[in-house]
Structure 1
Amino acid sequence: MSGIANQGLEKVSLQGKGFTIAIVGGTTGIGAAIARCFAKLGAERILIVGRNEERAAERIAEMDKLAPAGLKTNYEFVKGDISDLKGMKAAAASLEKIAGTSGITHFIMCQNGIPATEIQTNADGDENGFAVQALSRFTLAYLLLEHNVIAPGGVVLAVANPGLSLDTLSVDDLSLKKVAEAGRSKLLLFLDCSKRDSTVLDSVFEELSKRYPKQRFFHCHPGVVATELFNTGAFPFPMNLAVSLALWTIAPKPDDYAVVPVYLAVGSDIEEKYGSEKFFTSKLKPSPLGTWASNAENRQKLWKKLEARVLDS
Structure 2
Amino acid sequence: MRSAGVAIAMQGSGISGLDVGSATVKLNDDGFYTLTIGAADMGTGCDTVLSQMVAECMECSPDEVTVFGADTDASPYDSGSYASATTYVTGKAVEQACNELKDNLCTIAAQMMSCPVEEVDFCGKTLCRADGSAQVCLEDVATKSMAGNAIPVEVTSTHSSPVSPPPFMVGMVEIELDKETGSVKVLDYKAVVDCGTPINPNLARVQTEGGIVQGIGMALYEDVNYSPSGRILEDSFLSYKLPTRLDMGKLQVEFESSYEQSGPFGAKSIGEIVINTPAPALAHAIYRATGVWHRELPITPEKILMGVEEL
TM beyond 0.5: no
Scaled by the length of structure 1, what TM-score is found? 0.23
Q: Which has the higher contact order (CA 8 A, sep 6+)?
A: 2
Structure with greater proportional helix content:
1
Scaled by the length of structure 2, what TM-score is found? 0.23
Which structure has the larger Rg?
2
